[in-house]
């Protein structure tokens, strides 16, 4: 039975506070009034605890795994014919993530007070995406919320799996580049100056490549702080430009033209487009609303522009495949399958097949990119080390021959 924390004034006019067990707020007030207490404040202790937890964990986040698990649990409860309010109440005790637990509790309270489920979800845009909210709205209206929630969980898991694969593929080359760069800096700033000091003391004419090495070493040693500041400033300026209103479209267009990488970026965008649109349409979201959501999921301004054009054409009664083909950004096989899907009334299934095919191609491309980057980086670092060793050892060997 819920426990309520109250503050009030007794018959003697003295301020009192305490706890009382009751089914709900109304009955708690009635009990206290019967005991001669005029209630000034009455709060559910569980709700207070959750609010405190939310404040303490305001800097926290909700992982994809936590959200997916919660979504599956809610789908199971609703499928078992448990009312939505009771299902949400049960979830509050099952969710481990403090931020998500607080959000679910607040959503349950809003639904209890008469709010629709999807509107209550909209209060937490950092946890529940537009896709999540729109599909839940469609599920509420069609009475298939349990089915929609299962699709949402699967969609979220697959999107996260793809994102993790891309990050994992890039992690090893980035680590290699970082440590390789650090080793080079140590060699140029610490090791090379000590070795080349021997050459300077002998006042012997050195080969041009050794002079170049010594010059680079001195420049880095003298201006290392300025180089670091310049490097960091360049990165910050690039990030600011690439996220600006004018720079983002240009950078997204450039990414699509980069050899090898551009192909991967395009495949990921196509996969996201097909999977998201398929999930939304299968969930009962209207076509035009689905396009409004999909344009933000592809994470590329070039594809976003194409999707907006496609939405405008569809709103005028045209097909989906036509604008996609005209843009030249979608591979012919994609537009062909979309065209077939529209003609046969199986657009959702065709889009699902496209997304699965491109997910497979993305995995192959990521493996290929990783296998290419590793030897390239090893060769690059090997050439630098070889140049350093060659530039130092040749003068030493020449001095040894003269001495002999």
Residues 385-399: tens digit of each pLDDT:
888 888 888 877 776
Contact (CB, 8 A) for 400 and 200? no
Q: 330 falls in which pLDDT band (50, 70, 90)? A: very high
Q: 181 falls in which pLDDT band (50, 70, 90)? A: confident
C-alpha distances out from residue 10 to 40, 45, 108, Å: 11, 21, 33
Contact (CB, 8 A) for 331 and 256? no
Give ∠ CA 128-130-134 in degrees, rounded to 5. 105
The overall pTM is greater than 0.85: no
Range with the largest mean pLDDT of 190-194, 204-208, 235-239: 235-239
Pick among 3.40.50.720, 1.10.10.10, 1.20.81.30, 1.10.3720.10: CATH of 155-404: 1.20.81.30
Q: In this predicted structure, which of 57-61, 214-218, 254-258, 342-346 has the lowest mean pLDDT? A: 57-61
HEC per residue, the chain = CCEEEEEEECCCCCEEEEEEECCCHHHHHHHHHHCCCEEEEEEEHHHHHHHHHHHHCCCCCCCHHHHHHHHHHHHHHHHCCCCHHHHHHHHHHHCCCHHHHHHHHHHHHHHHCCCCHHHHHCCCCCCCCHHHHHHHHHHHHHCCHHHHHHHHHHHHHHHHHHHHHHHHHHHHHHHHHHHHHHHHHHHHHHHHHHHHHHHHHHCCCCCHHHHHHHHHHHHHHHHHHHHHHHHHHHHHHHHHHHCCCCHHHHHHHHHHHCCCHHHHHHHHHHHHHHHHHHHHHHCCCCHHHHHHHHHHHCCCHHHHHHHHHHHHHHHCCCCCHHHHHHHCCCCHHHHHHHHHHHHHCCHHHHHHHHHHHHHHHHHHHHHHHHHHHHHHHHHHHHHHHHHHHHHHHHHHHHHHHHHC
Q: 237 falls in which pLDDT band (50, 70, 90)? A: very high
* 301-325: average pLDDT: 92
* 128-156: average pLDDT: 84
pLDDT reported for residue 59: 44
At 262-310, the pLDDT tens digits run 888 899 899 889 988 888 888 888 889 889 888 888 889 999 999 999 9
155-404 matches 57-128 in CATH topology: yes
**% of the chain surpassing 90 pLDDT:** 20
For residues 284 and 144, give the distance between their C-alpha atoms in angstroms, rounded to a whole number. 9
Q: 55 falls in which pLDDT band (50, 70, 90)? A: very low
Architecture of domain 57-128 in this structure: Up-down Bundle (1.20)
At 83-103, the pLDDT tens digits run 999 999 888 888 888 888 889
Q: Looking at per-residue confidence, does 232 or 12 come out higher? A: 232
* 19-39: average pLDDT: 80
C-alpha distances out from residue 98 to 101, 103, 216, Å: 5, 9, 53
* 151-163: average pLDDT: 81
pLDDT reported for residue 57: 40
404: pLDDT strictly greater than 60: no
Q: Burial-class residue 289 by CB neighbours within 10 Å (0-12, 13-18, 19+).
A: middle
β-bridge mates for residue 292, sequence order:
none
Listed residue (15, 18, 16, 19) closest to 1, CA to CA: 19
pLDDT reported for residue 139: 83
Residue 99 CA, chain-centre distance (Å), reads 18
Q: Where are the domains of the chain?
A: 3-52, 57-128, 155-404
- For all residues of the chain together, what is the average pLDDT? 83
């Amino acid at each position: 039975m819920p426990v309520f924390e109250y503050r009030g004034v007794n018959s003697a006019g003295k301020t009192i506070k305490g706890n009382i067990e009751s089914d709900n707020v109304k009955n708690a007030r009635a009990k206290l009034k019967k005991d001669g207490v005029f209630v000034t404040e009455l709060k559910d202790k569980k709700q207070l605890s959750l609010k405190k937890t939310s404040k303490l964990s305001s800097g926290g986040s909700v992982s994809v795994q936590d959200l997916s698990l919660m979504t599956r649990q809610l789908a199971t409860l609703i499928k078992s014919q448990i009312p939505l309010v009771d299902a949400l109440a049960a979830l509050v005790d099952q969710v481990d993530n403090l931020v998500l637990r607080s959000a679910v509790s607040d959503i349950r309270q809003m639904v209890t007070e008469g709010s629709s489920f999807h509107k209550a979800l909209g209060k937490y845009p950092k946890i529940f995406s537009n896709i999540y909210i729109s599909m839940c709205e469609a599920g509420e209206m069609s009475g298939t919320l349990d089915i929609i929630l299962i699709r949402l969980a699967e969609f979220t898991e697959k999107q996260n799996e793809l994102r993790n694969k891309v990050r994992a593929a890039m992690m090893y080359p980035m680590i290699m580049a970082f440590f390789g760069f650090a080793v080079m800096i140590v060699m140029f700033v610490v090791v090379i100056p000590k070795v080349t000091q021997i050459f300077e003391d002998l006042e012997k004419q050195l080969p041009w490549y050794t002079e170049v090495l010594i010059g680079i070493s001195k420049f880095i040693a003298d201006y290392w702080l300025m180089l670091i500041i310049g490097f960091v400033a360049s990165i910050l300026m690039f990030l600011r430009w690439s996220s600006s209103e004018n720079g983002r479209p240009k950078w997204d267009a450039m990414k699509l033209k980069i050899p090898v990488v551009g192909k991967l970026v395009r495949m990921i965008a196509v996969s996201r487009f097909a999977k998201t649109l398929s999930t939304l349409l299968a969930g009962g979201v209207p076509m035009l609303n689905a396009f409004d959501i999909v344009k933000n999921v592809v994470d590329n301004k070039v594809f976003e522009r194409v999707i907006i054009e496609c939405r405008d054409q569809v709103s005028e009664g045209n097909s989906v495949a036509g604008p996609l083909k005209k843009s030249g950004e979608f591979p012919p096989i994609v537009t062909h399958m979309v065209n077939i899907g529209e003609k046969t009334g199986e657009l959702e299934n065709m889009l699902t097949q496209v997304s699965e095919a491109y997910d497979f191609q993305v995995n192959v491309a990521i493996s290929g990119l990783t296998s290419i980057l590793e030897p390239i980086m090893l060769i690059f670092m090997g050439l630098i080390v070889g140049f350093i060793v060659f530039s130092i050892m040749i003068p030493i060997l020449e001095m040894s021959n003269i001495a002999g």
